[in-house]
Structures are given as structure tokens and as C-alpha cells.
Chains A and B, each alone.
Chain A
Amino acid sequence: NAGVTQTPKFQVLKTGQSMTLQCAQDMNHEYMSWYRQDPGMGLRLIHYSVGAGITDQGEVPNGYNVSRSTTEDFPLRLLSAAPSQTSVYFCASSFGNNSPLHFGNGTRLTVT
């Protein structure tokens, strides 16, 4: 039982490049979400999904896309990276949107 697995752990991008952050969970959780963590700002919700085929925007969705084709996977796509997207990204899952969250180990992204 691996829990929530995020890849990669570190990534450096140039402005304008695209990439996908991967997230997978093996706990059969319906709810999955992406957060970004910046110094002094806590964890801010980017996008979330309450089940396969359903996604919705969080607090800071601009510049990011998501899809949920399976229960297990919830990738986060940056279409054209900007320096303002330099952050630590966490994927999290739970049984429901009011249930305790299980977090992945995070991806540290730097955009130059």
C-alpha cells in the first residue's frame, strides 16, 4: 500500500515550457486534490475532483489543467510555465471532501 505517490520530486522549467505532475493513489479514494504551498501562504487549493470524470476549480486554478480519467490518477498540467508558478506542489486524496487528507511527498518546481 503506497498511499499517494507524486512524481517527479524536483523539476526545473524554463518560462513557457509545459509539463505534467503525476499523482496516483492506491487507497480507492474518490476525492483527490492539488495544492500549492508558498512561504507564508499556507496550502492553496488549485483543482480538485470528487470522482472519476469530475473536476472543479479551487482557489488558484489559473495556469493549471487537470483531468480524472481513473479513480487512481489525477495529473496536474502546466501548459505554459511562469515564474509565479515556482512552488511546492502537493497532491492529496481522501474518501470524501470532508474526510482527512492523505498527502503525497510533494514536487518542488522552479520556473526560471
Chain B
Amino acid sequence: GQQVMQIPQYQHVQEGEDFTTYCNSSTTLSNIQWYKQRPGGHPVFLIQLVKSGEVKKQKRLTFQFGEAKKNSSLHITATQTTDVGTYFCAATGTASKLTFGTGTRLQVTL
């Protein structure tokens, strides 16, 4: 089945530092979604990317979809303690099923 690899598994940053998580697939993706899960909570949808090379921004968060539609990234500028949580990518491939990456857990300390 389709596999979506996400790196790193864990990142610990000081508040104010930047953070990036990457999502990679060996197959072409129809679209990619990003979710955030706070500790003890449930995943919450952040954004969906559909077009090759697409870039979307939400305040300090920048999302990119690769030109070949096989990878994506989420970049957070100047992290805050409210950014703590696990970030998941979820991708739809040829089978039209949504497959989640293993997630990147972000820890932010003062």
C-alpha cells in the first residue's frame, strides 16, 4: 500500500527558533493534508494542498507541495509554546485512500 514517510520523528526547539517537518512519498500524490494534534487531543485539520508547487501560508506556518507532487513540508517561523504538538501529513494517492504519515512531535521550551 501507499506509504508516506515523515521526518523528523521528534524535534525540540527553543521558543523563537524555526521548525520544519517533511513528508515524502515514492508515488505521486493527488493531494496532501496537514493536521496538528495537541498532547492528549485529537488531530485537527490545518490545510490541504492540491496543485504542484503550491505554497500556502497561515500566519507563521508555511506549507509547500513539491513540484513532482511527491513531497511536502510544513515550516513554522519563530515557534511559540502554543505550537507544541504532533504534526501529521496525510496524503491521497492513486488508491484514493488517505494515508497518514507517522507524525513529527514538536516540543518548544522557553
Please state if A103 and B1 are interface contacts (CB–CB under 8 Å).
no
Residue of chain B at shortest CB distance from A105? B42
Task: Count A/B pairs, Cβ under 8 Å.
Answer: 52
With known contacts A100-B45, A102-B45, A45–B97 Cβ distance under 8 A: yes
CA–CA, A18 and B33, complex, Å: 34
For chain A residues 41-57, which have a beta carbon within 8 Å of chain B? 41-45, 48
Please state if A42 and B88 are interface contacts (CB–CB under 8 Å).
yes
Please state if B98 and A101 are interface contacts (CB–CB under 8 Å).
yes
Please state if A43 and B100 are interface contacts (CB–CB under 8 Å).
yes
With known contacts A101-B45, A103-B42, A42–B103 Cβ distance under 8 A: yes
Interface residues of A, count at CB 8 A = 21
Q: Is the interface of A mostly helix, strand, loop or mixed?
A: loop
Please state if B98 and A97 are interface contacts (CB–CB under 8 Å).
yes
Please state if A106 and B42 are interface contacts (CB–CB under 8 Å).
yes
Q: Taking the complex as formed, is A58 at the interface, i.e. its CB lies under 8 A from any CB of chain B?
A: yes
Residue of chain B at shortest CB distance from A4? B42
With known contacts A40-B9, A90-B42, A90-B43, A98–B96 Cβ distance under 8 A: yes
Partner of B101, one of A42, A45, A106: A42
| B6, B45, B96, B98: residue with the most chain A Cβ atoms closer than 10 Å | B98
Residue of chain B at shortest CB distance from A48? B97
CA–CA, A104 and B102, complex, Å: 19
Given contact pairs A42-B6, A59-B99, A105-B42, a sample of 20 additional A-B residue pairs in the complex whose CB atoms are under 8 Å apart? A35-B100, A40-B9, A41-B102, A42-B88, A42-B101, A42-B103, A43-B88, A45-B98, A48-B97, A58-B97, A97-B92, A98-B98, A100-B33, A100-B48, A101-B35, A102-B45, A103-B42, A103-B44, A104-B42, A106-B42
User: Residues of B with Cβ closer than 8 Å to A?
Assistant: 1, 6, 9, 30-31, 33, 35, 41-45, 48, 88, 90, 92, 96-103
A-B contact pairs, 15 of them (CB 8 A): A42-B100, A43-B88, A45-B97, A45-B100, A48-B97, A59-B1, A90-B43, A97-B98, A98-B96, A98-B98, A100-B45, A101-B33, A101-B43, A101-B45, A101-B90
